[in-house]
Chains A and B, each alone.
Chain A
Amino acid sequence: MNWQAFALTARLAMIVAAALVVIGLPTAYWITYSRRRWKFLVEAVVSMPLVLPPTVLGYYLLVLFGNTTSFGRWYESVSGHTLAFTFNGLVIGSILYSLPFAVQPFAASFAAVDTRLLAASATLGASGWRSFWRVILPLSAPGLVTGIALSFAHTVGEFGVVLMIGGNIPGVTRTVSIDIYDQVQAAEFASAGQTALVLLIFSFVVLSLVYALNRKVWTVWPFR
């Protein structure tokens, strides 16, 4: 078993899930409460990774990161290297790729908050910021956990984007899914099977937790 790949994947998924909380919460808030008529366009853009083949995203990122674009040249002049084949590059790719898996559950749970409670909060003099922290966020807890768990799990399961921009460097960009692919290509079916089984169990556990949580089967949290 390639533990290096597992450690790398876990680190990637944790960073991406954390970043998606920071990016996803304001985005979901805006999508839920904005009255702009063109907000459907933003919703469409956020959801695009659900339907785009990862190779499309990976291809655009590879071109964007390269020194043929002004972004690529700018990043290279600032940091001294391109984003492709780096861990940071994978983080950016994964954030884009898992964005809907965070934003959609967040937005759905925000939308389910009773607006009368928000109105009450406002009449009691709470600012929008305070209402968000004290009313919306606590009531959206299951949606938040779902979004975080899904974006974590989806990043663990990511393949196409990593294949396109990663360059398969051990310890830097060789994630578990790439490792499995390599093992299959090299006809090492036994180790590929082991690694695949670990991922299978992992996905099952994460999804079971998410659904248990959403059905309020709080026994997943024994001391509650």
Chain B
Amino acid sequence: MRSVHRSMGAFFVLLVAFLCPAKVAAQTTMLTVAAAANLGPALREISANFEKRGGAHVTLVFGSSGSLATQIENGAPYDVFLSADLDYPHRLESKGLAVLGSLTTYAVGSLVLWAPKTSALDVRELGFKALTAPGVRNIAIANPEHAPYGKAAVAALRRANLYDALKSKLVLGEDVAQTAQFVVSGNAQVGIIPLSLAISPELARAGQRWELPPEYYLAMEQGAVVLRKSKYEKLAQDFVNYLKTEEAAAIFRSYGYGVPGPRP
């Protein structure tokens, strides 16, 4: 019985320790940026640079654009939303959740076929034919219902007249990051993922890629908006503006994005 008491005591000590307010890192303002999963590597570098210049600490939250938009519609406390398309930012604008006039196209994405280096498939040689090669049983794409890169992948497959034949082989990742994980782990033989993800160091080392011809899908213009809920609207707007600077554009380009010209 005594040992029970002692362990109960230990439990309460732990409980109190957890409940005590941790020393809050109260310094500069915190900006929370919700971003499409394809932006991972590029945005980490860009926000680090932004922090260095401005002092605002940036917290990044990644997910599929649809998931993040739904979270925002339900009151998620984000300051900026970087979508993988323009539809979700428009939707948030029309619902009064985004600051009007803040919508900015910051990058244009593109799609690649990606397969591990160890694969017998030579995607660069085969192109679309890699998808119908004998050993290919599963093709990973992002979920077209709520991930723009998934929508574009389906559009490209339709345009190549492959969608109906391959439909039963498609496996859907929650976002582009999980889609890549399906192929990296060897469960799917080939995936359709953003170029930006395919040239991130880890995937570039492990895989081979073939860029889908751009005429097969609509240009993947990616838009950012400042959210109405933001307590730091000015700072959030600074961040969105920063995405359009030459410094940020150079980083986007180095990660495989196209960069739209300055707005007229």
Which residues in A have some Cβ–Cβ distance to B below 8 Å? 62-63, 65-68, 72, 81-82, 84-85, 163, 165, 167-169, 182, 184-187
Contact = CB atoms under 8 A, between A and B. Distances in A.
Chain A residues touching B, majority SS: loop
B185 interface: yes
B145 A66 contact: no
Interface stretch (B170-178, B192-200, B231-239): B170-178
Contacts of B29: none
Contacts of B49: none
A52 to B, nearest CB: 19
B55 interface: no
B257 interface: no
5 contacts: A67-B186, A84-B187, A85-B182, A167-B138, A169-B171
B66 A186 contact: yes
A82 B137 CA distance: 9
Interface string B152-193: 000000000000000000111110000001100111100000
A76 to B, nearest CB: 9
B187 A66 contact: yes
A85 B138 contact: yes
B143 interface: yes
B64 A168 contact: no
Interface of B: 64, 66-67, 69-70, 73, 137-138, 140, 143, 145-146, 170-174, 181-182, 185-188
Output the residue of B66, B170, B187 with the most chain A CB within 10 A.
B187
A62 B172 contact: no
Among A67, A167, A168, A182, chain B packs the most CB atoms within 10 A around the CB of A167
Contact of A184 (B70, B140, B171): B70
Given A182-B143, A184-B70, A185-B67, A167 B182 contact: yes
Contacts of A68: 185-186
B186 A169 contact: no
Given A72-B187, A84-B182, A185-B70, 10 more contacts: A63-B185, A67-B186, A82-B137, A84-B138, A84-B171, A84-B187, A163-B174, A168-B172, A169-B170, A169-B171
A167 B186 contact: no
A66 B70 contact: no
Contact of B187 (A85, A169, A185, A186): A85
Contacts of A85: 138, 171, 182, 187-188
Contact of B146 (A62, A66, A81, A185): A185
The 7 closest A-B pairs by CB, nearest first: A167-B171, A66-B186, A67-B186, A66-B185, A84-B187, A168-B172, A185-B146
Contacts of B171: 84-85, 167-169
A52 B182 CA distance: 22
A85 B170 CA distance: 10
B24 to A, nearest CB: 26
Given A85-B171, A169-B170, A187-B73, A182 B145 contact: yes
Contacts of B138: 82, 84-85, 167
